[in-house]
Amino acid sequence: EAGVVQSPRYKIIEKKQPVAFWCNPISGHNTLYWYLQNLGQGPELLIRYENEEAVDDSQLPKDRFSAERLKGVDSTLKIQPAELGDSAVYLCASSSLAGDYNEQFFGPGTRLTVL
């Protein structure tokens, strides 16, 4: 079984430029999560999807961040414009049903460097 796939793995951009990250969850997983992980810290949830609906986006900085999950499968996280403080690892995770206390499966992450 293929795991959570993320691309790109690394991205270097200049500040004020836009950037997008892509995630393909494990087949059949209805719940998808985007996390932000700063160096030396644990992941922090940005947004959670149940199928194509964003059910928790309270931690997403909506002035510059946006996300979508069309058709309830793949998801894209976008930052526009990027700031120096956005440099971090962006992790995508998926699980079969959020309400069943199932573990989340994480992708390898996208390491973003903003210059």
For residues 81 and 98, which CB has a smaller minimum distance to other proteins in the complex?
A: 98
Q: Strand pairing partners for 102?
A: none
Decide if 107 contacts 23 (C-beta within 8 A). Answer: yes
Chain CA centroid to CA 23, Å: 7
At its nearest, how many Å lie between other proteins and the CB of residue 83? 23
Residue 109 interacts with other proteins (CB under 8 A): yes or no: yes
Residue 47 interacts with other proteins (CB under 8 A): yes or no: no
Residue 22 interacts with other proteins (CB under 8 A): yes or no: no
Please measure the distance between the N-terminal and C-terminal CA atoms of the chain and give it in whole angstroms: 37
Decide if 32 contacts 68 (C-beta within 8 A). Answer: no
For residues 13 and 45, which CB has a smaller minimum distance to other proteins in the complex?
A: 45
Residue 44 interacts with other proteins (CB under 8 A): yes or no: yes
Decide if 50 contacts 28 (C-beta within 8 A). Answer: no
Residue 95 token pair: 């699980």
Residue 25 interacts with other proteins (CB under 8 A): yes or no: no
Return the sign of the alpha-carbon dihedral for residues 28, 97, 24, 108.
negative
For residues 95 and 114, which CB has a smaller minimum distance to other proteins in the complex?
A: 95
At its nearest, how many Å lie between other proteins and the CB of residue 86? 19
Residues in contact with other proteins by the rule CB under 8 A: 4, 31, 40-45, 48, 55-56, 91, 93, 95, 98-99, 101, 103-109
